[in-house]
Structure 1
Amino acid sequence: MTVTKSYIAKSVENMRPSGIRKFFDLAATMEGVVSLGVGEPDFVTTWSVREAAISSLERGFTSYTANAGLIELRREIAHYMESRFRVRYSPQNEIIVTVGASQAIDIAMRAITDPGDEIIVVEPCFVSYAPLVELAGGKAVTIGTTGETGFKLQPEQFEAAITSKTKALLLCYPNNPTGTQLNKEDLQLIADIVKKHDLLVIADEIYAELAYDQDHTSIASLEGMRERTILINGFSKGFAMTGWRLGFTCAPVKISSAMLKIHQYAMMCASTPAQYGAIEALQNGMTDVESMKKDYRRRRNYIVQSFNELGLDCHLPGGAFYVFPSIQSTGLTSEQFAEQLLLEEKVAVVPGSVFGKGGEGYIRCSYASSMAQLQEAIKRIGQFIDKRQMN
């Protein structure tokens, strides 16, 4: 019997595939590609962290942990959040260890979103945000930031987007893809509007450790915001632990309990060896974090200066490990630029358009690569631009 109807959920059928993967799937078929695309540290996880995970396996710690994660790890996370970011959470009932920050965002969305609820998403942003809102049954209301403001959310933009259906604002600072950071004064203006309209904030702070010019301020640390914030963080970026798939949520008890229900049914718990590695990372890994950050800062300064010298205007990002140079002077769309650059010069970058409003006319370049690779990429991009100027 022939199947004549689609059994795929409409929300999934209508969902666009990740725009990032298109270029890396193509790059994977080519030799000699220099990639500035993948949002992944080029550093290997600190040996003591790997050793702690190996030791846990050797000692036979291979069972499930508590759904919320090892209590020892949750205590370390609580200490970390208080000592680093001045916000206090109970390890007993306000912290959940998740399978990466992506799963943390997913359960946060599903825990607070009813059908028809509007979640404001600030773009350019990580490609999964709006789809996760839609999968949770909500409506993603996107706000586009611009290069003229350094890709910072403007309070008047935010307030204008709020309706009677708005439930939450999703923020990511330091930002992927722009590297933009918000200072305490910027965040306070946003927090005032959040409180005025009785909203929640989902704060993706996965890049908090990679803030270069000033200490990171968590919006949850501002007066009256802890009870309104679902804070997302993890070990992938700052601790160079992407493949370990370990994140965490911090939220008030009622919201945390709701997220834990979803986590219990969908995931059970995060990897046990990874959790033991994370304990070691928090206890003894901060020196390595600082060393990596120092190297990233050096690379950031080099690549920003280089793009500006090539005539591709590039603002100085305050955090993460991305730059977002403008390619508008070339007359190409961001997708044309990225595709032609890959085919002609074998440099992989991500077109800014895949990150939403405000991204067209820009490309995302990761500087989580060796200085030698960055220098080679800049050389090839320079050749690519020179050819177009000669024609």
Structure 2
Amino acid sequence: MPELRNEDPASFMNFLRLPPVMFDALLARLLPYITKQDNNYRKTIEPGLKLAMTLRHLATGERYASMKFDFRVPHNTISLCVREVCQAIINEYKDECLQCPITEEEWCAISAEFCRRWNMPHTCGALDGKHIACRRPRNSGNLYYNYKGFFSVVLMGLVDDADYKFLWIDVGGYGHMSDSQIFNASELKECLEDNSIGFPVAEPLPNDDTPTPYFILGDDAFGLRTYLMKPYSQHQMTKEQRIFNYRVSRSRRIVENAFIIMAQRWQILLTIMQQEPETIATIVETCEILHNLMHMQHPALQNADMDVENADHQIIPGSWRTTANMHAVENVMGPNRDSTAAKKLREYLKLYFNYTAGSVHGSIV
């Protein structure tokens, strides 16, 4: 590591996914958590080595049995160090790097950025879930077996448009659960319904005079609510519905991009993780925090990964794609009062996007 740092900083960053200056700052903050005292039997492992082993494991997903040859540390010791360092990162950085907005001003700032960049007014974030593949936990039956045919732990995240930063996450859901089930049981839904997180009150859309609620964006897996918009079903869509879906989808893809950008940097998320679900949840949360920390401290390193849109509304793909391993308003009725209000809002937004007040030149599908 000293040779890489002094002679080839680019390879140092490629090896640990962090530039040397960020590695040093991270180590300085974590020292109180991961420094141990020598005893009469053995010397402790240096904190810098613990951090380097952890970052290398997150960056590659390499198994402990292989890493022991690189770092000359037994595999069982590496497993303890990874859990220790990940928990230390969470304890030190969670409140700083993973904060959900709690005031109307913060939500409105996010909404303004969505409107400016993607022409989607009143949008306060994009929500989606990601399955993290894992080995079947002992005595779990099919609890973690998902519809895609493998065992997984579910990560759900709400993403901010300005810098692809995660505002809120829920990690640890069983693989058999749908995104809607996880969201319905989450604190985010509860806070949105009782408005305990300062969600903005309804205001008119640009060039309009009808108060319209603010909302987050989701895909078809979620239930339609006034605070959660999703696209129309693909079956027999009208031209107006296709335009609405286009406007929603071009804004909502930021959450998918955020997941893939994070997974390309911390490629343990692309492997079949061998740890227990509790450890997997800790590792995934650590990756989220490091992803946000990179955006906060070194935004230039991340900007090249992002999709952007030029003046002609053409998408310029982010660099992550080159290496990615993907996996009539009043008459609307729903099964209950909430869904009826949400469907009326979606119909109103469809009309708004298709007429002069809310249309965007060049966006007709």
TM range (shorter): under 0.3
Normalising by the residue count of structure 2, what TM-score does the alignment of the two structures yield? 0.27
Normalising by the residue count of structure 1, what TM-score does the alignment of the two structures yield? 0.25
